[in-house]
Amino acid sequence: MTTRYALLLEYDGRGFVGWQRQLNGLSIQEVLEAAASNLADGAPVAAAIAGRTDAGVHAEGQVAMIALPKDLPPHRVAQALNFHMKPYPVVVQSACVAPADWHPRFDALRRRYRYVILNRSARPALETGRVWHVPHALEASAMAEGAKHLVGRHDFTSFRAASCQAKSPVRTLDRLDVRRDGMHIIIEAEARSFLHHQVRNMVGTLKLVGDGIWEPIRVARALQAHSRAAAGPTAPPDGLTFISVDYDPPLFPRAG
């Protein structure tokens, strides 16, 4: 008998090679699967994920799935996984029995990412590893104007990593908001799915607009060029956090 569990994860991406197992370092997948193996009498357990994250990228509301060869109450699964993951900055916030045929990646209806720029001359002391530090003043309103050109259904080839394995470069970006909150510039992106590095490449491009190096309209031209070389550089992973993912019906109640 096998029971499939959906897990709401939070993790700090610093020190990890990313979600996915790699030969060159510790992954979040490895930490979770090793913990889950303890609940399966040592048998290997494979975890699936809603959205893979790169090295240094964080998650507040990532969703994973594991199958265990026994029927434990979900809150016991969460407690036991958290016990075994204790040395690492990875926790299960909540667990539930997964619906039949549900898959965290293929059934995701909408994903949300947040990117935070610390825009002041002094480096971060409290937010090290959690923000992109840009010491010179950025024009957030120009960045917001540039961002509008990316919203909608487009071929995002210009914002896609060379390593991206998606079959199509076409995605529908539902939201890309840029706002200033004191010393922070906060960028929120929402779509059914994203290409590899899409958010970081969009942020790296909008930063050129914030610098005044690009006019906002040049973002539209970069998009239309369908060439990675036409867009800006990839923003560092530190500022990026996977916020949440939606399913229908919802799996986890809203935080709180």
Residues that bind a second copy in the complex, under the rule CB under 8 A: 10-12, 58, 60, 75, 78-79, 82, 86, 89-94, 120-126, 128, 130, 180-183, 254-256
Q: Which is nearer to a second copy, 42 or 182 (CB)?
A: 182
Are the C-beta atoms of residues 8 and 61 closer than 8 Å to each other?
yes
Q: How far is the CB of 63 from a second copy (least distance, A)?
A: 14
Q: How far is 132 from 236, CA to CA, in rounded Å?
A: 7
Q: How far is the CB of 204 from a second copy (least distance, A)?
A: 23
Are the C-beta atoms of residues 7 and 63 closer than 8 Å to each other?
yes
Q: How far is the CB of 71 from a second copy (least distance, A)?
A: 21
Q: Which two tokens stand for residue 23?
A: 């030969």
Q: Which is nearer to a second copy, 66 or 195 (CB)?
A: 66
Are the C-beta atoms of residues 220 and 206 closer than 8 Å to each other?
no
Q: Which is nearer to a second copy, 7 or 231 (CB)?
A: 7
Q: How far is 26 from 31, CA to CA, in rounded Å?
A: 8
Q: Which is nearer to a second copy, 82 or 193 (CB)?
A: 82
Q: Which amino acid is at 76?
A: R
Q: What distance lies between CA 156 and its chain's CA centroid? A: 17
Q: How far is 73 from 5, CA to CA, in rounded Å?
A: 10
Q: Which two tokens stand for residue 80?
A: 């036991």
Residue from 54, 107, 211, 246 carrying the catalytic annotation: 54
Q: How far is the CB of 128 from a second copy (least distance, A)?
A: 6
Q: Is 211 a catalytic residue?
A: no
Q: Annotated active-site positions, please?
A: 54
